Amino acid sequence: MRFGFHISIAGGFSKVVERAHARGCETIQFFSRNPRGWNYSPLNKKEMEQFRSSIRSSALFPIFLHMPYLPNIAAAKSKFYKRSVRSIATDLQRAEQLGAQYLIIHIGHRMESSEDQAIETVSQGINQAFEKVENGVMLLMENTAGQGTEVGYTFDQIKKIIEGVHDHQRMGVCLDTAHTFEAGYDLSDKNGIDRTLEKFDQTIGLKRLHLLHLNDSKTPLGSRKDRHWHIGEGCIGLEGFRYLVNHPSLSHLPGIMETPRKDTVEDLKNMKVIRSLTA
């Protein structure tokens, strides 16, 4: 398994590879713009070319772009729905321009909509974004913890969303271990992990799984509360992660950590722990 972190773009894309190397990354995830705002500047051509060159000269692979937090394509009546669809289309373009093979999206909140309505709305939003941008970037839906009115916390919901997307070949899944556990799928021991992966394979298909977000959970199984924690220090625990990263169905996948951090020290600690668990 190739390990990495979400890397900050503060100060510009030129700092990304350096920060990744300082953390011992083999793969990375990053934002292309402010994750907590709608406004953004077009990518600078020179900076974009320099970034792509620095990625090519590094050993970092694969490269994942993550959508900002504000877009929500699960609530059709939201005044931000059309803007959210355009935002996905924009980052599909930016992912290609920056040399990222994948774009990760949060599925969203249904608000006052029913679950079925929200699922259909998500599929329609993705269809609209795909119609706007036709490229080779794969869109990965990140499963949720089911907090509040979030959709996408069960494998069945994710399956239904994919079924409603016209271009299935452009769709994949990013499985967040904390969210999975918090949604009620036990990842703390061998039996729980085997059952969860069997359920995932039967419902969605392991061939659609392209990335793991390796995060421990600060809250217990089925809490429906999204709280990431340091590897081995939460409710999933060291043995859960040991089995996960060595599992024959998962060991070929990249694993990105989104564990809490104040500076590089926490990242180095989590990288040391996760690597110590590999066989």
156 is catalytic: no
Is 117:160 a contact under the CB 8 Å cutoff?
no
Active-site entry in 19, 106, 109, 208: 106
Specify whether 228 is catalytic: yes
* Catalytic status, residue 49: no
Say whether 142 is catalytic.
yes
**Annotated catalytic residue, options 91, 109, 142, 216:** 142
C-alpha pair distances (Å), 141 with each of 48, 51, 107, 174, 244? 25, 25, 6, 6, 20
3-class SS at 216? strand
Catalytic residue among 66, 208, 210, 261: 66
Candidates 115, 201, 239, 258; catalytic one: 258
9, 261 in Cβ contact below 8 A? no
Residues ≥6 apart with Cβ < 8 Å to 170: 130, 137, 138, 139
Catalytic status, residue 252? no
> Which listed residue (91, 150, 176, 267) is catalytic?
176
Residue 102, CA distances (Å) to 92, 93, 133, 159 in order? 9, 11, 14, 19
CA pair distance 214, 193, nearest whole angstrom: 14
Of the residues 19, 179, 208, 210, which is catalytic? 179
- C-alpha count within 13 angstroms, C-beta hemisphere, residue 252: 6
- From the list 150, 182, 216, 226, the catalytic residue is 226
CA 215, 174, 254, 249: dihedral to nearest 10 degrees?
100
Place of tokens 């980052």: 91
* Start-to-end CA span in the chain (Å): 10
Catalytic pick from 47, 69, 83, 166? 69
Q: Is 179 a catalytic residue?
A: yes
Rg of the chain over CA atoms, in angstroms? 18
Instruction: Indicate the pairing of strand 216-217 with strand 228-229.
Output: antiparallel
Catalytic entry in 81, 213, 216, 243:
213
Active site residue 213: yes
106 in catalytic set: yes
Catalytic residue among 228, 243, 261, 267: 228
Q: Catalytic residue at 176?
A: yes
The CA distances from residue 50 to 12, 98, 254, in Å, are 11, 10, 24
Residues tagged active-site: 36, 66, 69, 106, 142, 176, 179, 213, 226, 228, 258
